[in-house]
Structure 1
Amino acid sequence: MASTPMDLDVPDNSSPANGTPSTSLNITRTLGSGLPSTSSVTDVASTYRATKLFKREDIKDGRPQPYILSLDYDDPGELLMTSESDETIQIYKVREGRHDKQLLSKKYGVKFAKFTHNSSSIIYASTKQNDAIRYLTTHDNAFIRYFEGHQAPVTCLAMHPGNDDFISCSKDNTVRLWNAGTKNETGALYLNTPHLAAFDPSGQVFAVASPSSGMVLLYDHRNFEKAPFAEFDIVEACSSIDTNKLMEGWTKLEFANDGRSILLGTKGEGHFLLDSFNGSLKAYLRKPDGGSNRLAAGEDYTLNGDGPSGSNIEGGGDCCFSQDGRYVFGGTKKGAVVWDTLGNTPEKIILDPAYTLEDERPAAVVAMNPRFNFFATADQDLVFWLPDPHA
């Protein structure tokens, strides 16, 4: 099988992350169900290759290279944003395969940066000063407003799929609902360790994951002040498969775009794939090389004398759905893997990866482009993955 050579960015003094605008990457668009598509995910899932590597060459004076905390794409899939442990935000142009700009948040820190539905506006959680969420325009690096209310660190931000409503989870045992157009919260839920949240693809339902209770709760977005309309007991559904991460170590909560499945990522030996209608376990996605060393949502740092390390760094989760909801892409200590969720049967709940995508770099954070056959992984370096046209 032919391979695609890695394109390593060369030093460029004009770009903090040393991007190069030379040639465009050959990215193929993937469209929704029933629409013509140049390539379906099934056609390319096994052919992805690490194609572009970004290294932070601006790190000098003996400072360690930062860790990438989160990855997020804008709605058109043209921009990729990282939040990093050196309190910077980096933005990349996907199709050109180059770094676009760097934004600093040295005063407040930054994690979990998310695009709003305007590609030049973002929200992110603070790591210093206070626990406010900040709303920023990227074209002039100016704050629009702060969203204040949390009394402890934010553990997750989730954007509504159709408007600028969003949800924040916090270690203060609250889930707060917001609209980017006003600084005041639109509502709050008081729950025990509600560390993760996600909207379903319609935006009418959102889920909250509480690891200490072992539950995933589903709410009607318009009537969230009422009790959840569904309660999924992870301990009951998954205890026959994995007893270690039933009530701790949860890193990611995500609905598939077809609305049929929920992905509950863990830092353990595998991830849980749940039926979004009844909460039953559809599959346990077993990792080939063990768990992640990143902190789970809401997990406390451990003190050591070595400064920041991978095991003391938060992350946005090392797994995600493909655009069609059939596949789950996951990070490993060397590259990435792909699980085919259609490979499960009542007799085969434990799924091993269908494909292994090899690379020398760890993939502690993973994100799939919403519009193109393209995904990215990161730890300290950022890697772009594209299908090999010769495979």
Structure 2
Amino acid sequence: MIIEEMKLTENVVRNFRVAKIFRENTDKITSIDFSSNGETLISSSDDDSIVIYDCQAGTPKRTLNSKKYGVDLIRYTHAVNTALHSSTKIDDTIRYLSLHDNKYIRYFPGHTKKVVCLDMSPINDTFLSGSLDKTIRLWDLRSQNCQGQMHLPGRPVATFDPEGLIFAAGINSECVKLYDLRSFDRGPFATFKLPQDKDCDWTGMKFSPDGKFIVISTSGQVIRLIDAFQGTPLQTFVGHTNTKRIPLEVSFSPDSLFVFSGSTDGRVHCWSTDTGAKIATMSCDHPGPVQCVGFNPKFMMLATACTNMAFWLPYIDE
């Protein structure tokens, strides 16, 4: 099913088609994450299930349930057989799960309100979490104790850079602060103030794979791209819909040339990071809002999800 050795161009993007649709879930899929080798994809859903897909075979591999705690923001750790997730029931503890035997390895208590961002370091066992309790916490998988925390004036978003040396925190939907991981308690080494979007909040933030850009997703109908070094606004991506004001995920292509986002009308949109132009509007059988979008880090494949999961491949006319 997988296509390798192909360069992603605007034409290739426009030729993406849905290759497989999966209907494993009975409720909205809330987060997805590819393994670093690109071979599997993991998802969390409001129906309390975790589904693991085989990307090469194009099949569901396994379903695990988290009925007691619920599951959201699922993230692979560096071991492909373990994952982290936030909780939707009982409390706001982050949980570290062995996928092999469906047992919890460790709990990370501390947040007192819903966890809205969770990001694993690309290089080691460190991870970041941000919560509606207006804190960002830094953790190590090996200890249940928080390694450090920051108190903020508003809803946080946070993410590691691709080298795992710095992290960016979005504060109050108006400024981005960059912290050196080795000395983050000294405060940010750079602060970028951005024009405020009056009618929407920041809901997500990601560095591009090449580390040059930061993309900021919002609860409105705008996505912002800024320079990761200077904080200069570069592009504003519009044209998708977010009438329900939900946290639509935004994803870079592995070459950092394109940005993909879902839409509440069930479609998927793609823009050029270079020009800001809309490259494609991709229609699918998504009956609901497409909240999750991810590009496989190793293979030419896109995954999008509402209640259904769709795998997209470029259609090549022989």
TM-score range, shorter chain: over 0.9
Answer yes or no: is the 8 Å Cα contact 1:77–1:371 preserved in 2.
Answer: yes
Question: Is 1:50 matched with 2:18?
Answer: yes
Alignment of structure 1 residues 21-100 onto 2, 5 Å: 25=1, 27-29=2-4, 38-42=5-9, 44-56=12-24, 65-100=26-61
Corresponding residue for residue 264 of structure 1? 216
Q: Secondary structure at the match of 2:285?
A: coil
Corresponding residue for residue 311 of structure 2? 384
Counterpart CA distance in 1 for 2:311 and 2:81 is: 22
Answer yes or no: is the 8 Å Cα contact 1:194–1:208 preserved in 2.
Answer: no
Q: State how many pairs are aligned.
A: 314
Question: Is 1:109 matched with 2:48?
Answer: no
Residue of structure 1 aligned with 2:199, choices 225, 244, 262: 244
Deviation readout 1:295-322 (Å, 9 max, x if unpaired):
34xxxxxxxxxxxxxxxxxxxx332111
CA gap 1:176/1:154 in 2 versus in 1, 3 angstroms:
same
Alignment of structure 1 residues 59-208 onto 2, 5 Å: 65-208=26-169
TM-score (normalizing by structure 2): 0.94
Counterpart CA distance in 1 for 2:317 and 2:120 is: 37
Residue of structure 2 aligned with 1:226, choices 166, 179, 186: 186
Question: Is 1:323 matched with 2:243?
Answer: no
Q: Secondary structure at the match of 2:14?
A: coil
CA gap 1:124/1:292 in 2 versus in 1, 3 angstroms:
farther
Counterpart CA distance in 2 for 1:194 and 1:251 is: 8
Residue of structure 2 aligned with 1:279, choices 221, 231, 245: 231
Q: Secondary structure at the match of 2:37?
A: coil
Q: Secondary structure at the match of 2:143?
A: coil
The answer for unaligned runs of 5 or more in structure 2 is: none
Counterpart CA distance in 2 for 1:69 and 1:356 is: 22
Answer yes or no: is the 8 Å Cα contact 2:130–2:158 preserved in 1.
Answer: yes
Q: Secondary structure at the match of 2:274?
A: helix
Corresponding residue for residue 284 of structure 2? 359
Deviation readout 1:200-248 (Å, 9 max, x if unpaired):
1111110111235x1111111111101111111122xxx5xx5433xx2
Counterpart CA distance in 2 for 1:227 and 1:357 is: 42
For the aligned residues, what is the CA RMSD?
Answer: 1.6
Counterpart CA distance in 2 for 1:342 and 1:153 is: 35
Counterpart CA distance in 1 for 2:198 and 2:8 is: 33
CA gap 1:135/1:294 in 2 versus in 1, 3 angstroms:
farther
Answer yes or no: is the 8 Å Cα contact 1:294–1:364 preserved in 2.
Answer: no
CA gap 1:369/1:292 in 2 versus in 1, 3 angstroms:
farther
Counterpart CA distance in 1 for 2:283 and 2:91 is: 40
Larger-gyration structure (1/2)? 1
Corresponding residue for residue 340 of structure 1? 272
Counterpart CA distance in 2 for 1:150 and 1:336 is: 33
Q: CA deviation at 1:380?
A: 0.8
Q: Which one-letter code corresponds to 1:244 in the other structure?
A: D
Counterpart CA distance in 2 for 1:281 and 1:159 is: 26
Corresponding residue for residue 177 of structure 2? 217
Deviation readout 1:306-348 (Å, 9 max, x if unpaired):
xxxxxxxxxxx332111011110121323312111222xxxxx
TM-score (normalizing by structure 1): 0.77
The answer for unaligned runs of 5 or more in structure 1 is: 1-24, 30-37, 60-64, 297-316, 344-350
Q: Which one-letter code corresponds to 1:230 in the other structure?
A: A
Q: Secondary structure at the match of 1:222?
A: helix
Answer yes or no: is the 8 Å Cα contact 1:330–1:337 preserved in 2.
Answer: yes
Q: Which one-letter code corresponds to 2:131 in the other structure?
A: S
